Amino acid sequence: MSTQFDGTVFVLGGPILDSDKRAFVDEHMVVIEEGRFVAIEPASQLPSDAANVIDVAGAHIMPGLIDGHTHLMSRSGVEADAKLITTSVIDGVIMAKRQIESGVTSLRDPGCKHRGTHQLRDEIASGRIVGPRAYTAGPNIVGSGAPVDWRNHFVDGPDDVRKAVREEIKSGANMIKLVLSHTTADSDWTTCLRYLNDEEIAVAVAEAHLLDTRVGCHCEGIPAARAAVNAGIDVIDHGLTLDDALVRQMADQGTFYVPTLWAFSTNTHLNIGKTISEERAPIYDRNIARIHRESAQRAMAAGVKIFAGTDPVHWIPARDAMVCEIEALVDAGMAPIDALLAATEVSADAIGDPSIGSIRRGKRADLAVFDGDPLTDLRALARPRLVMKDGEILVDLRHDQAAADALWADMATGTPASDRQPELWGQRK
């Protein structure tokens, strides 16, 4: 369903997340005009003749969630053939709707094997498809020495890199994504291969910044991460191994970090992605998952700007992937309020769009309303009641408990809607 309003809209009836106060405030209301937030005001100031009043009856009101690392259509590390393009279009439409139904109103999509993801982004923006506001990268830029499971926009040398950055931006990318390095499973995750050298990374970042475009990177080893941070990269994606000196540098420079902790956890790979066996799980846990978690903890302690992203392990993942990532951040030591801001305000900052991420005057009226208090029960985020984007209601379960129960039950299963994995995942030819 979709509901649009003429005139001023008032949303009230529950605590509201005030990002400035870093807390939920009671007895207030959100005021919206022409798809933008006007203010958070005392509920006692509600006009007696107000026509557009949305009462959420005790639920908690937040800015719309922002998934800082997800893939709407397909991952970047696969082969783009007619079958993939066709299925990824269908998956993208389904995925976009499911994200909205889960309270995600904006997302950062850091790579697709084909550039159709930009068109999907534009179709969502036009209103022809229901989905979150999307910020997209196309094929990732990677050295030609990378194996088949990272086959993207291949480059060799600084000139190739510069040309590739320009081509991706001209083709519609909101951001550039580099693939720097990858830890190989066949080495029991002890060997990390570099796909771009330091000079290539520096040229890519410099060229993108000349064109006022942000840069992120798939990064798994310290040498590649250090080269990226030295080059002034905007976002470290994954960052499986970060040492004390590097996180201090990231904090000093304002480098953003989206660890995607849940996606790399041992349990996720063993029981959800099913990419490792029971026998190899302890090896993976020792060489990847624990080191990754410790890296995130170092970054938290150093004051690195961390934001939440899911990097789903299936084409159409379970609806609770965002909740799982927020839970993983808190489990690693992040305060619940900081985890909520990591999934809203900090994600918006990382994307570079000042119009989203919080309930402040002039920002886009994106709201997600949940049944329960996320500060005491993070699983409340898996119980959406109402979702609004640009002041338009896209999900409204306030008066349909049966529909709410069905959605919440589906989210509680943690079951992906598709068990398909990338077709060439794990192939090294």
Spatial distance between the Cα atoms of 98 and 89, rounded to a whole number of angstroms = 14
Boundary of a domain, candidates 331, 351, 371:
351
Q: Please count the other Cβ atoms lying within 10 Å of the Cβ belonging to residue 331.
A: 14
Residues 398 and 364 in one domain: yes
For 343-399, how does the pLDDT look when each residue is reduced to its tens digit (9 = 90+)? 999 999 999 999 999 999 999 999 999 999 999 999 999 999 999 999 999 999 999
Q: Please count the other Cβ atoms lying within 10 Å of the Cβ belonging to residue 353.
A: 18
> Phi first, then psi: what are they for 300, rounded to 5°?
-60, -45
**Residue 3 located in a structural domain:** no
CA 72 to each of CA 4, 111, 117, 343: distance values in angstroms, whole numbers, following the listed order: 26, 9, 7, 17
Spatial distance between the Cα atoms of 174 and 399, rounded to a whole number of angstroms = 38
Residues 137 and 178 sit within 8 Å (Cβ to Cβ):
no
**The predicted structure's pLDDT at residue 323:** 98
Angle, CA of 416, 420 and 421, to the nearest 5°:
110
**Residue 221 located in a structural domain:** yes
Spatial distance between the Cα atoms of 344 and 199, rounded to a whole number of angstroms = 34
Residues 264 and 404 in one domain: no
CA 370 to each of CA 5, 32, 138, 316, 409: distance values in angstroms, whole numbers, following the listed order: 22, 19, 33, 22, 14
Residues 45 and 92 in one domain: no
**Residue 132 located in a structural domain:** yes
Quickly state the pLDDT bin for 84 (edges 50, 70, 90). Answer: confident
Residue with tokens 């990591």: 342
Residues 243 and 378 in one domain: no
Boundary of a domain, candidates 322, 351, 380:
351
For 404-414, how does the pLDDT look when each residue is reduced to its tens digit (9 = 90+)? 999 999 999 99
**Average pLDDT of span 320-336:** 98
Residues 367 and 334 in one domain: no
Residues 165 and 290 in one domain: yes
Residues 34 and 171 in one domain: no
**Residue 427 located in a structural domain:** no
> Phi first, then psi: what are they for 189, rounded to 5°?
60, 35
DSSP H or E segment with residue 400: none
User: What number of H helices and E strands is found in the chain?
Assistant: 13, 22
Tokens representing 346 are 């900090």
For 217-273, how does the pLDDT look when each residue is reduced to its tens digit (9 = 90+)? 999 999 999 999 999 999 999 999 999 999 999 999 999 999 999 999 999 999 998
**Residue 261 located in a structural domain:** yes
Number of folded domains in the chain? 2
CA 427 to each of CA 146, 219, 240, 424: distance values in angstroms, whole numbers, following the listed order: 11, 19, 21, 6
pLDDT at 419 over 60: yes
**Residue 425 located in a structural domain:** no
For 184-218, how does the pLDDT look when each residue is reduced to its tens digit (9 = 90+)? 888 999 999 999 999 999 999 999 999 999 999 99
**Residue 170 located in a structural domain:** yes
Tokens representing 286 are 């020792």
Residues of the domain holding 293: 65-351
Residues 216 and 362 in one domain: no
Residues 135 and 270 in one domain: yes
Tokens representing 304 are 């690195």
Residues 193 and 221 in one domain: yes
Residues 252 and 288 in one domain: yes
**Average pLDDT of span 415-427:** 69
Boundary of a domain, candidates 302, 322, 351:
351
**Residue 4 located in a structural domain:** no
> Using a CB cutoff of 8 Å and minimum separation of 24, what contacts does 2-6 make?
2/130, 2/392, 2/393, 2/394, 3/392, 3/393, 3/396, 4/391, 4/392, 4/393, 5/32, 5/52, 5/391, 5/392, 6/52
Residues 181 and 280 in one domain: yes
CATH number for the domain spanning 279: value is 3.20.20.140
CATH number for the domain spanning 16: value is 2.30.40.10
